[in-house]
Amino acid sequence: MTAGIRHFTASAIVLDDNDRALLVHHNKVGLWLYPGGHIDPNEDPAEAALREVREETGIRTEVIAHRQFAHPAVATIPPPFTILEMDVQDSKVGPHRHIDLVYVCRPVSGDLIPQKAEVRSARWVPAAELVDLHTPAELPDLIAEATGWAKLLR
């Protein structure tokens, strides 16, 4: 694992009612991934995850989450499904690490229109086809677990 620079990112595993996951083929990384990216200034992680999905795919989503603590004196942010840390190789920044807050979301509107500047393609992928795609090693297991977790909340 690379020591040094760490960036906070937010991503979304978007699942439809047919247990398909929304994946993008990322230009820079050359892999099929779920949508995500860096958290902008003045943006909370959930907002970042929703924005990244919309920017990369054209699909508007909402976070699936357990209701946590609420009080009128404070704002609450939906908790992520999980938080991952990984090595990243970037031609501009060099080697660094991403701390990725991964949300599980469902689509609410929009047409699937990939943002060609960042992603080569975007598509809904049935769970059984995940193993046939060039993805990070953990992605099929992560999506399978997220799918099971989301079913418990329905």
Per-residue tens of pLDDT for the chain, all 154 residues: 545 789 999 999 999 999 899 999 998 889 999 999 999 999 999 999 999 999 999 999 999 998 788 899 999 999 999 999 998 887 777 788 999 999 999 999 999 999 988 899 999 999 889 999 999 999 999 999 999 999 998 7
Is position 85 within any domain?
A: yes
Quote the domain boundaries for residue 13.
6-153
**Strand boundaries in 89-141, DSSP class E:** 96-109, 119-126
Rounded Cα gap, residues 39 and 123, in angstroms: 23
Output the domain CATH number for residue 142.
3.90.79.10
Q: What is the pTM of this model?
A: 0.93
Is position 131 within any domain?
A: yes
Task: Supply 15's token pair.
Answer: 């699942």
Rounded Cα gap, residues 113 and 119, in angstroms: 10
Contacts of 105 (CB under 8 A, 6+ apart): 12, 13, 14, 15, 49, 50, 53, 61, 62, 63, 64
Is position 1 within any domain?
A: no
